[in-house]
Structure 1
Amino acid sequence: MARTESNEFELGRKAPEFRLLNTIDDIWVDLESLKGKNGTVVVFICNHCPFVIHINEKLVQLANDYQSKGIRFIAISSNDIEKYPQDAPHLMKKLALELNFTFPYLFDETQMVAKAYNAACTPDFYLFDADLKAVYHGQFDDSRPGNNIPVSGNDLQKAMEHLLHKKPILENQKPSIGCGIKWK
């Protein structure tokens, strides 16, 4: 499994707007209607990536914990489904229902949203404040498939706690590492 590191995304930069299909309920949604009262996590994931599969359970748990605190989670898959049919929208919906996603799982068919966010890998995490300005772009935690470090979500959780308690933006933001987005 190839390891790809996330690209740069300038802190303070406004989240790029989008309008995408939520595969869970087949409704088109946009960032403005989905954003959280206190913050928004945008994460690029997909169905088949071992790095995503490794964190899925904890991701759902963290989303459940923080959505009640006003931080909304939004998952997006941008993979080329012709070459990777396991990431097709109907299978995204199936996975979201199996894992009890309490957040939208959006399909970026044109890959324009991934390009706008300069996304590189799955998973790739972005945290925005209430005004949709970037305060974190980095890893979920230090756990990776096979490295025997427990999945915790500590890095993202710490960034969300800083946001909620109006503490300074984290200085040490480690890039995410995962499978490269499957470009067309």
Structure 2
Amino acid sequence: MLRMSRMEGLGSRAHPFALPDTNGRITTLDDFSGSPALLVAFICNHCPFVLHLIEQFASFAKDYAPRGLATVAISSNDPGEYAEDDVAHMAQFVTDHGLTFPYLHDENQDVALAYGAICTPDFFLFGPDRTLFYAGQFDSSRPKIDRPPVPGLPPLRTDLPVTGDDMRVAVDALLAGRPAPQPQRASAGCSIKWREDREPSWA
């Protein structure tokens, strides 16, 4: 089901997490304390919206790492609904797409709930004090898929290349000490696949 990012909580603090990566190593929020900017991206392995931008997103994260951006991706999807979202497929996803940042498994979905994530991809960019600076889209490009439009919103643009322009502007502003770009436009993607006992009211 198509969802738009909620874009709530600008100025709020990043929630702590301690999650395993695809090799079972635990990664925590504090592991990124030396970086002036932190991008937390909720993604998954199968979503066409993620697959549409993953190559450019991987390249973007690699390009900005020397400038001080730390990136971490989290999959919170219930693999009981999509088997390809399990940890084994996450490990293959890292290899297939050359990810140079941790890809973590949020098995009990606590972290997605804490961050208010709703779709894949859903982005949360934090400054040096770990307050939320940007919660919008990577860019305006969308995959060509058979999905109904979201009521009240314009049709998805499927004629644009993936550039990461919106995220680049946001990170550039953050690293330069400038105000967050406005307006921030919502990311679009597949709904997070919640476990029955974990689905929030806003999903």
Question: TM-score, normalised on structure 2?
Answer: 0.87
Give aligned-pair identity as a percent.
43
- Per the alignment, residue 75 of structure 2 pairs with 77
Aligned to 2:198: none
Aligned to 1:95: 93
Unaligned runs of 5+ in 2: 145-157, 196-203
Specify the SS of the correspondent of 1:33: helix
TM-score scaled to structure 1, two decimals?
0.96
Alpha-carbon distance in structure 2 between the residues aligned to 1:4 and 1:175: 10
- Return the offset for 1:9: 2.2
- Aligned residue in 2 for 1:32: 30
**Once structures 1 and 2 are overlaid, which stretch shifts more, 59-68 or 5-14?**
5-14
State the one-letter code of the partner of 2:16. E
- Structure 1: gaps (5+ residues): none
Match of 1:176 in 2: 187
| Residue 174 (structure 2) aligns with | 163
Paired residues of 1:38 and 1:69 also in contact (CA < 8 A): no
> What amino acid sits opposite 2:108 in the alignment?
T
- Over aligned residue pairs, what C-alpha RMSD do you find? 1.0
When residues 53 and 183 of structure 1 are mapped into structure 2, their CA distance, relative to the original with a 3 A threshold, is: same
Give deviations 1:157-179, integer Å, cap 9, x for gaps.
10000001111111210011100
What is the match of residue 116 of structure 2?
118
Q: 1:148 corresponds to which residue?
A: 159
1:96–1:35: structure 2 CA closer, same or farther, 3 Å change rule? farther
User: Is the contact between residue 35 and residue 72 of structure 1 (CA under 8 Å) also seen in structure 2?
Assistant: no
Q: Which amino acid aligns with 2:133?
A: V
Q: Counterpart of 1:60 in 2: which secondary structure?
A: helix
**Post-superposition offset of 1:10:** 1.4
Higher strand share: 1
| Cα separation, 2, equivalents of 1:61 and 1:161 | 16
Output the amino acid matched with 1:29: T
Q: Whose Rg is larger?
A: 2
Quick one: which amino acid aligns to residue 46 of structure 1?
C
Instruction: Label 1:36 to 1:96 Cα distance change in 2 as closer, same or farther (>3 A).
Output: farther
Between stretches 147-156 and 6-15, larger displacement belongs to 6-15
Q: Deviations over 1:54-113 (max 9, x none)?
A: 000000000001111111000000000111110001110111012111000000000010
- Cα distance in 1 for partners of 2:17, 2:139 equals 27
Paired residues, number: 182
Q: Which moved more, 1:28-37 or 1:127-136?
A: 28-37
Partners of 2:79 and 2:34 in 1: CA distance = 29
CA pair 68-18 structure 1, distance change in 2 beyond 3 A: same
